[in-house]
Structure 1
Amino acid sequence: MLCCAFAKGQDSAISVKINLSKSYQHINNFGASDAWLCQFIGNWPDEKKNKIADLLFSADMLANGSPKGIALSLWRFNIGAGSAQQDQQSGIKDEWRRAESFLNTDGSYNWQKQAGQIWFLKAAKARGVNQFLGFANSPPTQFTINGKAFANAGKTNLSTDKYKAFAEYLSSIVKGIAQASKVKLNYISPVNEPQWDWSDGGQEGCPYNNIEIAGLVRAIDKAFIKNKTGAKVLIAEAGNINYLLASGDKPGKGNQLNDFFHPASVNYIGNLPSVNKAIAGHSYFTTSPKALAIKKRLALADSIAARNIDFWQSEYCILGDNAGEIDGRKRDLGIDAALYLASVIHTDLTVANASAWHWWTAISAYNYKDGLIYVDKNKTDGNYYDSKMLWVLGNYSRFIRPGAVRVDATVKGNMALKEPLLVSAFKNGKNITVVIVNQNMNNALVNLNINDNIGLLKSYTTSQTKNLEANNIAYGKNKDTMLILARSVTTLTGVTK
């Protein structure tokens, strides 16, 4: 818990100063995706899938005042390419990574497909989620060059003469899902990690270079305007944030920020009416070592500001060995992986100025650090297991709501700790939210100083034994010392008076 005892002027306390008058980026949303397991979990018994949906989407409180769920503010819907209909002929060995398509071979649509995913769309909306994004890992197999939902030899699987058909298809998807589920897809992401080859049959995927992306997006823009879809196109879901700023090892697939959003570029699409004024990239492979992670994000923040657009961190889970900091292999339901996740979220928000932050797959059946909730690999029933990564994401998503603005948080005295406290602060109207990440094995004393008349009313702590546990906190006038538990993430909430 957050200690409710206060002591003035302790020299050992860490000073945290919140300046509400110094602001940074606005927050669009916090999200996660339904790929790939919701196609099956959406068919589980009602009681279990509703409890899973509550964990992901609910903004309700339990009887003790703690949150029932993490209240994601955006849900990502995987627009399948049809590998599931192809079954073993799809070339994707793991059937849990195949996906259905609404498009029939004769060109008609079957809106009864992707039923499990549609269930989660409806469940999200019923619990208050009002932002939805549809993403296509691959065009439908009917449009691809090789008739598969993955590519050959790292070359795009969509010929230019199919851009219009794919664009019209995406228009139909937006309208068809709205009719079938009463859920409007606010955003469409037509390409995903275009830098990768997507040739191994591990999942649906399609590579593109920047010229191909620009041509496809122009076709989508025309189709969206003609069909009055009202959806915005999000680009380009770069495989990692390096490709937003530099070519690196993928010539023609990097420098995406300037290529798509600089008016002098031949691939300029930032002025298209249907294009969301944001660029999306993934934080994979750039989170360690810490100094390099910060350097990359500082450069990204400067470039984003120069283009006057937003940055969306649109996919992340813990992959690789991360310079020895943490290994992505083997699931971890405990606080170790969750604290690493908290440090990534903090850095993306406070250094890269991310306006949106999305986890990869909300539900996993794999022995990997890729899920918020884990389930038995069973299509019809099974057990589910919440992770501390779920609840730590909730320290942000549950309380930092769309429309919030990040404000300045300065920490002094961190040298008393092995790992510095990570503090971020946000205001949304009169509501104030402060998130404190303590990765240390020791508790930390904090003097919280806010340059306004603020009443901090509640704390919500996630630790090895707590899941956003709520406590009242006493409020002092200026410098009140409070205890932040070791190995925890604590969110403080309050209001301006």
Structure 2
Amino acid sequence: MKKLIFSLCFSYCFIFYGFAQESEKLILSIDTETKYQIIDHFGASDAWSIQFVGNWPEVKKKAIAKLLFSKEMSHGKPLGIGLSMWRMNLGAGAAAQGSESGIKDEWRRASSFLKADGSLNLPEIDGQLWFANAAKEHGVEKLLLFSNSPPVHLTKNEKGYSSDGNSNLPDENVDAFADYVSQVFKELGKHSLNPEYFSPVNEPQWDWKDGGQEGNPYTNQEVAMLVRALNSSFENEKIKVKIDVAEAGKINYLFELSDKPKRGNQIQEFFAPSSPNYLGDLNHVSKVISAHSYFTTSPSNTSVAMRQRLHEEVKRFPALSYWMTEYCILGGNEGEINGGKRDLGMDAALYVARVIHQDLSVANASAWNWWLAVSPYDYKDGLIYIDKNKTNGDFYESKMLWALGNFSRFIRPGFQRIALKSSSPNEEKINASAYLSSDQEEMVIVLINPENQPKEIQLNQLPDQFQIVKGYLTNENSSLEPKLIDLKNLTFPEKSILTLVFSLKK
């Protein structure tokens, strides 16, 4: 396609609220020939509440599934955020142990997927299966199964967490764990669920010995041993699944040893051919390295620097992509925001939007995943919140749900990020990124304004073949609210996220 360069700058008229206000102009320039990563998906996890919510009254769980998965519109307004990945928790079996599991919160105990005879553990996992099938029915493109801990019958202490901060999976049980996973995939296939990915370890850097949830630490050598066993089992059983490594607890563990010398530097460890833990030549290993964005997002300049470092390291391996596979707002944010207490409003949503922007535009993540899709907690960890009730209750949408939706609903798998440069003096605060569909017939621009004043926009040099379809606004009063866009007279409201969707003229 001929190079398309167009400039966006903010103009005077404030069309969304019906009054004008002086504000700085922002000029953005997009070059569609300068391309970066191809987007694989946006996703969220079913841990841990879905085991219960999946058995709530039909009308309520269908409404929750629609919010997470739907790509439908009603009167031009999205009914949901259209996730393109659903992450399904392969429980270790702590739920069956009850209080003897050592995990105090029963909502964080998960059921084993298999009975002793090798069949699916029904009805204990019915809730999870219901939501996985709902995702499929809504057209969610990808399904991933992840493991926090090996099943308790294979662990050293017969619990879903470590007793001593070392791996709870004895070497002699590694092959049995791999075969267990293969059996799970075969059984799920009998129920018309065919996950394309398996993530065998979660944040292997942490000790996982407090019993707060199911979890297991691994050294890089132990990760490699397990992945090789899984690869062999999948080959033998003809399981068509890709393995995702290694869900690092922080992004810096991918490119430095840091404080975990046997569990860090994971890009080199798993994808450098000279490494004794090299996994890049295994048929079932996805050419992806994954990590979580926790504890690395504040302050903003530090967040950017770490993501630049990550991108530079990933670039050294041309076939490798980076997935950000888990995030919610925890503590340690340099006073910017506290993880405690629910925040259904825009403060948390704008913070999350900035993290998504930096992960996509600086780290070049090709996938971005939230942690708890549905949370019962008084914490900034949920897209949707529920009453902590196992059989019924109310649910509550957060603005974090819709902030993610400004990306996930419109930037579909296969879209590619394209160059965008800003000339604004507020460039570090006003975030903008752009994406082009694989057929180059659709373009999406996501704008984030955390400021207390609106920003003027004027779009110049739009190629003749493109027209704007609509804008979708999320702020304190709107959730992906469709807005008619006058390209000659447009203002981006304060404390809001605006997605602009362009398509070819017909």
TM-score, length basis structure 1: 0.95
- Name the CA distance, whole Å, in 1 between partners of 2:145 and 2:92: 12
Matched, 1:208 2:222: no
Which residues of 2 match residues 111-260 of structure 1 at below 5 A? Answer: 111-180=122-191, 182-260=192-270
Aligned-partner SS, 2:326? coil
Distance in 2 separating the partners of 1:298 and 1:447: 30
Aligned to 2:7: none
1:23 aligns with 2:35: yes
Contact persistence 2:471–2:484 (CA under 8 A): yes
Find the aligned partners of 1:132 and 1:197 in 2 and give their Cα distance: 28
SS of the counterpart of 2:380? coil
Query: 1:141 & 1:246 partners in 2: Cα distance?
Result: 32
Tell me if the contact between 1:388 and 1:467 (Cα under 8 Å) persists in the aligned partners: yes
- Alignment of 1:420 with 2:429, yes or no, is yes
Is residue 407 of structure 1 aligned with residue 415 of structure 2?
no
Find the aligned partners of 1:318 and 1:439 in 2 and give their Cα distance: 17
Aligned to 2:371, the other structure's residue is in SS state strand
Which of 491, 494, 497 matches 2:502? 494
C-alpha contact 2:372 2:383 (8 A) present in aligned 1: yes
SS at match of 2:316: helix
Q: Could you tell me how far 1:17 is from its partner in structure 2?
A: 1.1
CA distance in 2, matches of 1:314, 1:363: 16
Residues 428-474 of structure 1 show CA distances to partners (whole Å, capped at 9, x for unaligned) of 02110000000000000123346743211200000000000002213
* Cα distance change of structure 1 residues 212 and 449 upon mapping to structure 2, 3 Å threshold: farther
| Distance in 1 between residues matched to 2:498 and 2:107, nearest whole Å | 36
- SS of residue paired to 2:478: coil
Match of 2:26 in 1: 14
Q: SS in structure 2 opposite 1:71?
A: coil
Residue 420 of structure 1 deviates from its aligned partner by 2.5
255-264 vs 480-489, which moves further: 480-489
Structure 2 distance, partners of 1:192, 1:432, is 35
Q: 1:496: how far off?
A: 3.7
Note the alpha carbon deviations across 1:6-52, whole angstroms, 9 max, x for none: xxxx9942111111111100000000000000000001000010000
- For structure 1, list consecutive stretches of 5 or more residues without a partner in the other structure: none
Asked whether the equivalents of residues 120 and 188 of structure 2 are also in contact (C-alpha less than 8 Å), the reply is no
Q: Find 1:97's aligned residue among 82, 103, 108.
A: 108
Deviation sequence 1:179-213 (CA, Å, 0-9, x none) = 12x12101000000000000011000000000000
Deviation at 1:484, TM superposition (A): 0.2
Measured in 1, the distance between the counterparts of 2:121 and 2:161 equals: 22
Residue pairs, 1:26-105, within 5 angstroms:
26-63=38-75, 65-105=76-116
The two structures have a TM-score, normalised by structure 2, of: 0.93
1:298 is aligned to: 308
- Aligned residues with identical type, % of pairs: 48
> After superposition, where does 1:262-273 map in structure 2 within 5 Å?
262-273=272-283
Q: Deviations over 1:407-426 (max 9, x none)?
A: 011111234x8x62100000
2: CA distance, partners of 1:373 / 1:4: 27
Cα distance per residue 1:129-170 (max 9 Å; x no partner):
120000000000111111000001110000111111111111
Match of 1:456 among 468, 485, 488: 468
Q: What is the CA–CA distance in structure 1 between the aligned matches of 2:446 and 2:74, rounded to whole Å?
A: 21
Contact residue 23 and residue 453 of structure 2 kept, 8 A = no
Give the one of 376, 382, 389 matched to 2:393: 382
Name the SS of the counterpart of 2:145 in structure 1.
strand
Cα deviation for residue 481 of structure 1 reads 4.9
Alpha-carbon distance in 2 for matches of 1:32, 1:462 = 20
Instruction: State which drifts further: 385-394 or 448-457.
Output: 448-457
Structure 2 unaligned blocks of 5 or more: 1-12
Deviations 1:59-80 (A, max 9, x none): 00112x1100000000000000
| d(CA) in 2 for partners of 1:303, 1:118 | 38
Cα distance between partner residues in 2 of 1:356 and 1:327: 25
Tell me the CA shift for residue 113 of structure 1: 3.1
How many Å apart are 1:229 and its aligned residue? 1.0
- Of residues 363, 369, 372, the one that matches 1:361 is 372
| Matched residue, 2:271 | 261
Q: Could you tell me how far apart the structure 2 residues matched to 1:294 and 1:174 are?
A: 39
Count how many residue pairs are aligned between Structure 1 and Structure 2.
486
The 5 A counterparts of 1:260-339 are: 260-308=270-318, 309-339=320-350
Q: Assess, with a 3 A threshold, how the Cα gap between structure 1 residues 132 and 234 changes in structure 2: closer, same or farther.
A: same
Q: C-alpha distance in 2, partners of 1:129/1:426? A: 20
For the aligned residue pairs, the C-alpha RMSD in angstroms reads 1.8
Residues 275-326 of structure 1: CA deviation (Å, up to 9, x unaligned): 0100000000000111111111001111111112100000000000400000
- In structure 1, distance between residues paired with 2:55 and 2:455: 45
Structure 1 residues 156-165 or 337-346, which shifts more? Answer: 156-165
Give the Å deviation of 1:228. 1.1
Distance 2:326 2:161 in 1: 20
Residue 142 of structure 1 aligns to a residue in which SS? helix
Match of 2:492 in 1: 484
